[in-house]
Structure 1
């Protein structure tokens, strides 16, 4: 995950940095075919040059962005996991648990739904 090294160094709180490193390592282990990259100054994972999931760090939470379609598809699951969300991202508080099964479902959904996608973002 060398591609994320500079981004992670920029996270001042060592616990927040470790949490993101843990999630990235889990994704790499669970989905080894995904390509990690930095775009728009944010870490993300792609498949055949199309966006699958992205992340960003803020003071109170980590934002997970599965695109609007992923939010719509998993809105109830997101709320049941205790996360706040907008139309484009899910907020996972630093002091709360990470629902890895939900992350897995969002990634798998995007992989399947975008299997034939030829653009970075959905149209």
Structure 2
């Protein structure tokens, strides 16, 4: 967690630093079972050794990086909310409301989908 706190402190804009810090606090409060990790120069959260979700901060937004299966499942909702997105990630603009309901559903979906996954990425399950 220390590396994630250091990551937050390196955010230049104090308002964005506060917003992202509050967001990480929300995530850890709502999902205490997730393990905060710092890999590939970004904060991410795992459960039983498998990736659940990651984030990276830019000047005007932060990027949300879920597992690909999760991203594809929630893409219609991401589009409905008119969130800017790429092929695997979507952006949350600083200064706009954070769609906590979407994020909560996305994380819960990933936790259920990967409950028996033994690898960091993807869908390799116990016994496969």
Q: Give me the TM-score of the superposition, normalised by structure 2.
A: 0.91
Give unpaired runs (5+ residues) of structure 2: 124-128
The match for 1:54 is 54
The match for 1:76 is 76
Q: CA RMSD in A?
A: 1.1
Instruction: Report the CA distance between 1:109 and its aligned residue.
Output: 0.7
Q: Give me the TM-score of the superposition, normalised by structure 1.
A: 0.94
- Whole-Å Cα distance in 2 between the matches of residues 59 and 104 of structure 1? 24
The match for 1:87 is 87
- State the aligned residue count: 123
The match for 1:14 is 14
The answer to whether the 8 Å contact 1:8/1:17 transfers is yes
SS at match of 2:52: strand
- Whole-Å Cα distance in 1 between the matches of residues 55 and 46 of structure 2? 12
Q: Which has the larger radius of gyration?
A: 2
Structure 1 segments of 4+ aligned residues over 2 angstroms from their partners? none
SS at match of 1:74: helix
The match for 2:126 is none
Once the two structures are superposed, what CA deviation does each residue of 1:35-80 show, in whole Å capped at 9, x if it has no partner?
0010001001100010001000011211001121111100111112
Instruction: Report the CA distance between 1:2 and its aligned residue.
Output: 3.3
The answer to whether the 8 Å contact 1:42/1:55 transfers is yes
Instruction: Report the CA distance between 1:82 and its aligned residue.
Output: 2.3
